[in-house]
């Protein structure tokens, strides 16, 4: 990140950017803090749960 200069963003900044994007899109926080950017490679995102009732 960015594609023209991979590895130029500090690891803490990568985590902050991804966290901001996930929170901004309504994803809840996980059970533990991400401390290493490589942990982002194993995160599994689930789709939203539809809580509306059928009519």
Cβ burial 22-34 (10 Å sphere, 16+ → b, else e): beeeeeeeeeeee
Q: How far apart are CA 7 and CA 43, in angstroms?
A: 20
Unique residue bearing structure tokens 């533990």: 32
pLDDT digit string (tens) for the chain, length 55 residues: 678 998 899 999 999 999 999 899 888 888 888 889 888 888 887 776 766 665 5
CA angle, 22 then 24 then 27, to 5°: 45
């Amino acid at each position: 990140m960015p594609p023209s200069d991979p590895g130029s963003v500090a690891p803490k900044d990568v985590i902050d950017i991804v966290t901001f994007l996930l929170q901004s899109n309504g994803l809840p926080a996980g059970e533990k803090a991400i401390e290493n950017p490589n942990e982002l490679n194993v995160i599994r995102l689930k789709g939203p749960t539809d809580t509306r009732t059928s009519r």
